[in-house]
Structure 1
């Protein structure tokens, strides 16, 4: 007959394994939460999901006869004492043609302020076809008190849009920017509440 005391001495320490598994799970979840923002950003840029625009290094070789009107929108989030907006409300462009749009920003405060722009295109499914070659939104922008600057964006609508039959009737899209205080946007992206 087996000795119950001897069986408990040789039994593996289950509590230690469970604690280790729980700690590993928590560490994995923390790691996944830190990786979620850049992975989501990469996904949006690759697919145009949510109206995320593309970044291009060169313009297409050929433009199509099809035209699209690109409307422009500019906003400033609370906490950034800037004025910001497009210098023109819209441009009609040929698909595949590179165009330059200008925005103007001014720091209306009495101290230097750094802002960063978030952007999207609507309708959302056009994000995969809207490409920027140059944009003020690629980096943070610092304006001195009272400073006003022009901010260019060089863009094109990718000719591959003609292959998407669902967008055959598309003749207008909107490129929208919102400037945030640089620290506030970083905290918002990380899912934290901005500090005042």
Structure 2
């Protein structure tokens, strides 16, 4: 009787433990994939949040120029970088500009492909202080589209912008007289040629 009673708890506990381990494993996998899904869903939402609020120094895109110009100056400095081994020489045409708050300005950056092959890039951007992103408005910018440069090609790229007059009412930016606009170009795959795209559509539909 003693041996049977000692074995009974052990033999009955083993299946329960296996079921418990399986349940924990399934729960962990479900949690992992759920978190991955939430992360992917959060990316566009975070980008939208940054564009609307200027969080993280994200600038604003607008369709119209400012109709108010203040008798108060602000200096905007321009910074340029490349990353990921993109073989471009990239720099602003001018290093800074001093302007009235609310005044619309046109400045230019230059990029040159220093290789013998066509390359493509996409510009990321922000301003510092980061709180100023909510007040830095772009009317036109090369960063709105991807850029392709032919071998050895030079390209002037415009930016049309103004600083929102409401910046003077932001307590966190009181005393700020200088804003830095920074761009970083990252390499991206070359877009497919137009002829290749037409062939793909033809093959997919069976007719042109």
Same fold per superposition (TM over 0.5): yes
Task: Give the total of aligned pairs.
Answer: 171
> C-alpha displacement at 1:21, in angstroms?
6.0
Of the structure 1 ranges 20-29 and 114-123, higher mean CA displacement relative to structure 2 is found in 20-29
> C-alpha displacement at 1:163, in angstroms?
1.4
- Tell me the C-alpha RMSD between the 2 structures: 2.0
> C-alpha displacement at 1:14, in angstroms?
9.5
Distance in 2, Cα, partners of 1:145 & 1:109: 6
Equivalent in the alignment of 2:188: 182
> C-alpha displacement at 1:78, in angstroms?
3.9
> Alpha-carbon deviations, 1:91-147, whole Å to 9, x = none?
111111110110000000110000011111011111111111111011110000000
Taking structure 2 as the reference length, what is the TM-score of the superposition? 0.75
> Out of 93, 96, 116, which is 1:90 matched to?
96
Distance in 2, Cα, partners of 1:88 & 1:19: 59
> Out of 43, 50, 72, which is 2:49 matched to?
43
1:114 maps to 2:120: yes
Equivalent in the alignment of 1:31: 37
> C-alpha displacement at 1:165, in angstroms?
2.8
Distance in 2, Cα, partners of 1:39 & 1:103: 30
For 1:1-196, list aligned pairs within 5 A. Answer: 24-183=30-189
Of the structure 1 ranges 38-47 and 115-124, higher mean CA displacement relative to structure 2 is found in 38-47
Structure with more of its chain in helix, by fraction: 2
> C-alpha displacement at 1:64, in angstroms?
0.9
Gaps of 5+ in 2: 1-18, 190-208
Distance in 1, Cα, partners of 2:28 & 2:84: 41
Structure (1 or 2) with the larger CA radius of gyration: 2
Gaps of 5+ in 1: 1-12, 184-196
> C-alpha displacement at 1:57, in angstroms?
1.1
Contact 2:131 2:172 in 1 (8 A): no
